[in-house]
Amino acid sequence: MIFLGVDTGGTFTDFVLWRDGTLRVHKLLSTPHAPEQAILQGIADLGLQGERLRVVHGSTVATNAVLEGKGVKTLFVTNRGFADMLSIGRQNRAELYNLQPQRQPPPVPRELCVEVGGRRCADGKLADALAAEDLKMLASLVAQHRPRSVAVNLLFSWLDAATEQEIAAALPENLFVSLSSRVLPEIREYERGMATWLNAWVGPLVQGYLQRLQSGMAGSQVSVMQSSGDTVAAAQAGEQAVRMLLSGPAGGLVAAGFLGKKAGCRCMLSFDMGGTSTDVALLDGGPSLTTEGRIGPYPVAVPMVDMHTIGAGGGSVAWLDEGGMLQVGPASAGADPGPVCYGRGGTRVTVTDANLVLGRLLPDRFLGGEMQLHVAAAEKELQQLARTMGCSMQEAAAGVIRIANEHMARALRTISVQRGIDPGGFVLVSFGGAGGLHVCALADALGMQRALVPRHGGVLSALGMLVARPGRQLSRTWVVKLSELVDEQLDAALEALAEEALAALQEEGVPRQSCTLSCSLDVRYAGQSHALNVPWRSLMQAARDFHQSHAERYGHDLDLPLEMVNLRVSVRGPGTIVQLSAPAARQPAQPFQYSQATGESQPVPGFDRAALSAGQEISGPAIITEQVATTWLAAGWRCIVDGAGNLLLCRRSVSGD
């Protein structure tokens, strides 16, 4: 079997091929209008046409559709009196002290919100039965509005799904139907409804895309990365589109955890800087999950990697606001036309253009020399920006970089300092096509002493697709006081939930005996609205773990009864075993060229990363190029090449040690 990891980004599509114990990487420009075209082109470039492949893919189709507001027409069906559920939400304001906030349009237009019977009480009993007139009215609205999908979210459907299933059975077969009792069978009707609507809103787009992709790779096994860092067969993925909203970034975190362990780094801050955005996360041996994530303005309560995303990437556009102040992003030049230096018609200065003009990118070594960067074009546009700003071209370029760095440093502080964590004791892991150009500056900004630039960091998310494991994250609500339970009850309930996950994995060819299982509970003090997740071993241990976790999170614990809210099960199958080979070079590499970088008094040496030997040390300033990325080793930093080819960066002391 030939294994291929593919990550489709806003600017580039990345490939990592694992075949006969050898790893090969490839990168090409994305085709946003039809992402599968870039994937099929990459397969052709790698000479894999007609081969039987096992492909794991990170897709941005669902993410982009949500962020751009380009989902399909969707009917939202709920109980009488709750048509405004998604519009009211939790009544949180984006700007707390803005007395005249800009009114945002509701997620679902009022005319597409349908109220029916079938309402249940908190004990699961019907309070308002679903009538034949309800189904007749629903059929009439479907015929009138002709939606492509329907989202059904009835109150307390997690207790009994029968009414939602009755509605689904009455709908035309050509509709994409999303039931809250399948998407997220948990308490809280708003979060459950939002997940169900998002799933229906983008589900047909994801299904259509995956079908086109599979038809172009007939005979191959295609899986998709989920937001949780687990993979799912493409045939099953379309029905759970809401679980793919962080598909690509999740792959990067899985790979960062995989390589971090091999490099002896457990506590890490990661930043994945691509062409359009930067994703930051905190890893303790691997990515952590959250059920309180957001995509754009929408809460997403399904399990996803805990990360923070901002609009700052290599393609982020520099512009002047009304006051003449320099701004960078969040708008991006994307893949078409891309930065000015790509020579594809771009006219707006980007972060990549600034790095090139500052001498931190080598124009004839971009993408391993496969793509020539146009220095003169970038300088021309930067000169115009500099004249408007009243400064030199180099000062304008440096300003662009400083602002982009501050955006990313602020994001890193959000997931560390704002959570009471000192980043100084962590290792900064950078990846993505542009990450290595900014790693030293960001480590300096956060007072960090060490950093890691992984081998193949420019395509790390694609590598993460390869090493990720097939899996399922399932949950069920069960609100009950811990004092009213015994261990055997929870063991039985968790076993039933695990059986559902095992059956789904077995359906895509994963043997039961090869799967690993972990169980947890969401617990809170009786009367609280929020819960904390604790691992399941026993009721007594769960209580101890909750009190300790509450004290760590909030600074205190209470002598109050404990209440369980949700059961959670994580089941994972085996992943692809990828062994990274040691650097092939036996002797330390010499610079292949020198270049003049702005701010440096001496020419800066350029090294070919593929030629570096294990144990080789390089002192900054230096430029280290590879096929899919470039690393700017700033003055005051040095790096050592480890046995797997990763660059371990550390800050030099004042004495020069």
Answer yes or no: are the C-beta atoms of 470 and 573 closer than 8 Å. Answer: yes
**What average pLDDT does this structure show over 53-78?**
88
The CB-side HSE value for 234 (13 A sphere, CA atoms) comes to: 22
Residue 13, CA distances (Å) to 5, 128, 176, 241 in order = 11, 51, 29, 20
| pTM for the full predicted model | 0.85
CA atoms lying within 13 Å on the CB side of residue 477: 22
Tokens of 130: 């679903």
- What dihedral do alpha carbons 427, 428, 430, 434 form, nearest 10°? -160
Q: What is the per-residue pLDDT for 634?
A: 94
358 by DSSP, 3-state: which?
coil
Structure tokens at 465: 């697709």
**pLDDT, tens digit (0-9, with 9 covering 90-100), for 449-477:** 999 999 888 888 899 998 999 999 999 99
CA distances from 53 to 1, 20, 45, 412 (A): 6, 13, 15, 37
What does the pLDDT read at residue 657? 41
CA distances from residue 62 to 71, 84, 209, 641 in whole angstroms, order as listed: 9, 24, 10, 38
Task: Please check whether residue 197 is in contact with residue 73, taking contact to mean a CB–CB distance below 8 angstroms.
Answer: no
Question: Is pLDDT above 60 for 269?
Answer: yes
CA-to-CA dists, residue 348 to 45, 497, 586, angstroms: 30, 52, 44
pLDDT in tens, 487-520: 999 999 999 999 999 999 998 889 999 999 999 9
Per-residue confidence at 68, pLDDT binned at 50, 70, 90?
A: confident
- Give the CATH class of 67-206: alpha beta
Cα 310 from Cα 296, distance rounded (Å): 10
Mean pLDDT of the chain: 90
- Residue 631: the pLDDT is 94
CB atoms < 10 A from the CB of 368, how many?
A: 16
Which two three-digit tokens encode residue 628?
A: 């899919």
Query: Most confidently modeled of 83-87, 218-222, 578-582, 653-657?
Result: 83-87
Model pLDDT, residue 369: 79
When pLDDT is cut at 50, 70 and 90, the band that residue 580 belongs to is confident
pLDDT at 73 over 80: yes
pLDDT at 551 over 90: yes
The rounded radius of gyration (Å) of the Cα atoms in the chain is: 26
Cis upstream peptide for 454 (omega within 30°): no
Q: How confident is the model at residue 653 (pLDDT cuts 50, 70, 90)?
A: low
Give the confidence band of 544 by pLDDT, cuts at 50, 70, 90: very high
Distance CA 30, CA 39 (A): 8
Count Cβ atoms below 10 Å from residue 410 Cβ, excluding itself.
16
CA distance linking residue 48 with residue 29, whole number of Å: 18
Is pLDDT above 70 for 655?
A: no
Q: Is the pLDDT of residue 262 over 50?
A: yes
Q: Where are the domains of the chain?
A: 67-206, 316-404, 469-572, 593-651
pLDDT band at 148 (very low <50, low <70, confident <90, very high): very high
Inform me whether the pLDDT recorded for 98 exceeds 90. no
- The rounded percent of the chain whose pLDDT value lies above 90 is 61
pLDDT tier at 29 (50, 70, 90 boundaries)?
Answer: confident
- Alpha-carbon gap, residue 595 to 585, rounded angstroms: 24
Q: For residue 335, which of 320, 321, 345 has the smallest C-alpha distance?
A: 345
338-379 pLDDT, tens digit per residue, is: 899 998 888 899 999 999 999 999 998 887 777 889 999 999
pLDDT in tens, 126-144: 999 999 999 999 999 999 9
